[in-house]
């Protein structure tokens, strides 16, 4: 069924991304494992027997080089992400640059390489839920008419609010990770609408709390379990689009 489909996964030299590559390969996909660390990524790709490309999601040059290959992708999994300690301008800018703007840039750069009827997945998190925001900000994130530019502007408002030390009064939580993951769910909804004419499904997923470098050793879920939640959305055969899912079921947003 899924034979000879091609899928590209970001941030896949370790953790959930690597396991997503392994599971996709087991389902018959031609997999392109990507990473910012070329040595680690090549070693991981070799170990599981899949193709490799370097892709730092914050690098316009890496994205352009990949786009120039004019790959024929059936699937893009935006998995790369970081969770930094502390809360300051640098943490906020770096987290948003990788987790949100990076995923957006990779997706837009590779859109011409994604076949009509293809699939895009954003790896979000339960931390992407909207309960920590003011009703006004919640309404803006979840506005069904939200555009890509309005979403980027909303995230920019958070960055500016932190810089001016007024983000709490404005209704934002003091967590760059939370904002980045909420923005990814919103982005999945925006792109699902925009890409519907091409039959491209776009969904966000939560892998649960998973034992990886990021999740730590106390996490209750294995990397296999976490990756399955991602692979479910990656291998959808129906028209499901614009949702946020954990383990194949709608997640609270």
- The residue ranges that bind ligand NAP (CB under 6 A) are 10-11, 13-17, 35-37, 40, 56-58, 79-82, 98, 102, 123, 125, 206-207, 209-210, 212-215, 219
Residue 13 or 241 with smaller CB distance to ligand NAP: 13
H-state helical runs in the chain: 15-26, 38-48, 60-68, 89-95, 103-110, 135-141, 148-163, 176-195, 223-234
3-class DSSP state of 23:
helix
Residue 126 or 171 with smaller CB distance to ligand NAP: 126
Annotated catalytic residue: which of 29, 52, 133, 177? 177
Sign of the dihedral defined by the CA atoms of residues 104, 110, 111, 116, in that order: negative
**Min CB(45)–ligand NAP separation in Å:** 12
**Min CB(225)–ligand NAP separation in Å:** 11
Exposure of 213 by Cβ count < 10 A (0-12 exposed, 13-18 middle, 19+ buried)?
exposed
Cβ atoms of residues 231 and 248 within 8 Å? no
Residue 162 or 230 with smaller CB distance to ligand NAP: 230
Residue among 13, 15, 11 at smallest CA distance from 215: 15
Residue 229 or 241 with smaller CB distance to ligand NAP: 229
**Min CB(180)–ligand NAP separation in Å:** 8
Residue 123 or 190 with smaller CB distance to ligand NAP: 123
In a 13 Å sphere around the CA of 56, the CA atoms on its Cβ side amount to: 9
Exposure of 85 by Cβ count < 10 A (0-12 exposed, 13-18 middle, 19+ buried)?
exposed
**Min CB(110)–ligand NAP separation in Å:** 14
**Min CB(218)–ligand NAP separation in Å:** 10
Biggest CA pair distance of the chain: 53
Cβ atoms of residues 100 and 151 within 8 Å? no
29 catalytic, yes or no?
no
Residues forming the active site: 177
């Amino acid at each position: 069924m899924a034979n000879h489909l091609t899928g590209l996964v970001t941030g896949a030299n370790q953790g959930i991304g690597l396991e997503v590559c392994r599971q996709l390969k087991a389902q018959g996909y031609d997999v392109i494992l990507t990473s910012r660390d070329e040595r680690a990524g090549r070693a991981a790709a070799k170990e599981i027997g899949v193709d490799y490309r370097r892709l730092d999601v914050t690098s316009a040059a890496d994205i352009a080089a990949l786009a120039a290959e004019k790959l024929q992708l059936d699937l893009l999994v935006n998995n790369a992400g970081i969770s930094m300690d502390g809360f300051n301008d640098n943490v906020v800018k770096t987290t948003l640059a990788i987790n949100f703007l990076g995923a957006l840039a990779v997706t837009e750069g590779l859109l011409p390489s994604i076949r009509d009827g293809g699939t895009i997945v954003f790896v979000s998190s339960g931390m992407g839920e909207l309960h920590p925001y003011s009703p006004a900000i919640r309404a803006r994130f979840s506005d069904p008419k939200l555009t890509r530019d309005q979403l980027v502007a909303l995230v920019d408002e958070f960055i500016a609010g932190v810089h001016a030390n007024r983000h709490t009064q404005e209704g934002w939580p003091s967590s760059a990770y939370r904002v980045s993951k909420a923005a990814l769910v919103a982005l999945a909804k925006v792109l699902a609408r925009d890409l519907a004419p091409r039959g491209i499904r776009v969904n966000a997923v939560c892998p649960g709390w998973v034992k990886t470098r990021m999740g730590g050793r106390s996490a209750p879920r294995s990397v296999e379990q976490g990756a399955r939640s991602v692979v479910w959305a990656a291998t959808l055969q129906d028209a499901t689009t614009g949702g946020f899912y954990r383990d194949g079921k709608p997640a609270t947003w």
